[in-house]
Amino acid sequence: MWVLQDIPMDRVAKYMAGKGIRSLKGAEMDAASWYRVLDSGFAAGLLRSRSEPSNPEKGITYATNKPNTYDLWYPGAHFPLITSELWEAYKRKRCPEDYDSELSGFVRETEPKYGLSGLVRCGNIRDNGEICLAIMTASVTKYKSKYGTYHTDIWRCSRYVRSKQCRAISVTRPKAETEVLKWLDANSKHSETGEVAMKRAATAARAGDQAAEVKKEIQRLKEKLDRALEGYLDKIISPEDYLNKKEELEGQLEVRVSRLRLLNSEVAANQTPGADAFGTLLELWPKMEEYEKRAGAKKVISYLLVTPTPGRAPNKLTIVPRWEANQEALAGAGAPVNQEPMVA
Ligand SMILES: [Zn+2]
């Protein structure tokens, strides 16, 4: 349950250890051991296996033991402790790459250091004319002034830190947090009964309709793939024709699956909470722990963009809300639907 609420696994592990829960061998369990237990599906009443077991001699190895590396699942003789819905939701979190919706997010292995960790991005325009968008990472920097030496947390462009292939764009943590609080305050005062709410509802509805269309197209393409396979198995089409057709159809499928993913996140983003939720977040912020701040901020903010300004003026901070972030990506991925008749 906690994992689904973005509570870091090492915190869950500490809590369970504090409750005196130990492994069968009596050891204290860390985050990795909890993942091992949860990944097994045992709690959902399942036993798992692989049709191709790991065999390094034959070159069969698995990088992880996550649920998506097992293809055979059997109901065990034991009684399930969790519902199959909860198990599905866990898998969604654990293996987001297997699911269409970007909603699933991911499970953090360790606790984020700051409430805005991973949410601050570099807005510098690079030499190639493209916006950097690299995640900015925080570090403690020593400051010397006439008042003495003190320390502050500064976020820098990770691309610059890593390879110097950007500029030394930075912003201090207090400034970023202040901007977020101001933004939450402004949003908490806007009643969502107005224009914004209607725009968002309309966007969500439109994206939902489009997603339904794309789903149908995906279904049709899958049926075509099946028919092509049947034709090949019945020796109606040649192996070459089949492979060509398969490649073509799979290419079309791929485009639609990524579009569906975007549309789904568009729907989700436009279902972000109303004005009262911003107020609640604002009110709770000072009392929240960093991981809670992060989970809260992620619900409404896609990222904070730090853009350099000319001269000695401080960098500009723009908050990109969840409900706006997907517009550009959607326009890019909106490949026209190919309706050419296909022979299968
Ligand atoms: Zn950068």
Distance (angstroms) between ligand 1 centre and the Cα of 169 equals: 7
Distance (angstroms) between ligand 1 centre and the Cα of 317 equals: 14
What's the pLDDT tens digit per position in 55-64?
Answer: 777 777 777 8
Distance (angstroms) between ligand 1 centre and the Cα of 154 equals: 14
Give the pLDDT confidence score for residue 76 in this predicted structure: 77
Note the pTM of the prediction, 2 decimals. Answer: 0.51
Distance (angstroms) between ligand 1 centre and the Cα of 330 equals: 23
Place of tokens 């709770």: 284
Give the pLDDT confidence score for residue 268 in this predicted structure: 73
Q: How far are the Cα atoms of 12, 105, 113, 152, 306 from residue 166, in angstroms, in the given order?
A: 38, 28, 24, 23, 13
Give the pLDDT confidence score for residue 90 in this predicted structure: 85
Distance (angstroms) between ligand 1 centre and the Cα of 170 equals: 9
**Which residues of the chain are under the pLDDT cut of 70?**
1, 3-4, 96-111, 142-151, 190-195, 271-274, 325-344
d(CA 251, CA 245): 10
What's the pLDDT tens digit per position in 252-280?
Answer: 998 998 888 888 878 877 765 667 778 88
Question: E strands within the chain?
Answer: 46-49, 72-75, 120-122, 136-145, 148-157, 170-172, 301-307, 316-321
HSE-up of residue 343 (Cα within 13 Å, Cβ side): 5
d(CA 320, CA 328): 12
Distance (angstroms) between ligand 1 centre and the Cα of 131 equals: 8
Give the pLDDT confidence score for residue 311 in this predicted structure: 78
DSSP 125: B
Q: How buried is 262 (Cβ within 10 angstroms: 0-12 exposed, 13-18 middle, 19+ buried)?
A: buried
Distance (angstroms) between ligand 1 centre and the Cα of 266 equals: 26
Give the pLDDT confidence score for residue 338 in this predicted structure: 33
Give the pLDDT confidence score for residue 193 in this predicted structure: 52
d(CA 226, CA 240): 16
Domains of the chain, earliest start first: 3-104 (3.90.1750.20), 120-191+274-308 (no CATH)
Give the pLDDT confidence score for residue 104 in this predicted structure: 34
Distance (angstroms) between ligand 1 centre and the Cα of 292 equals: 27
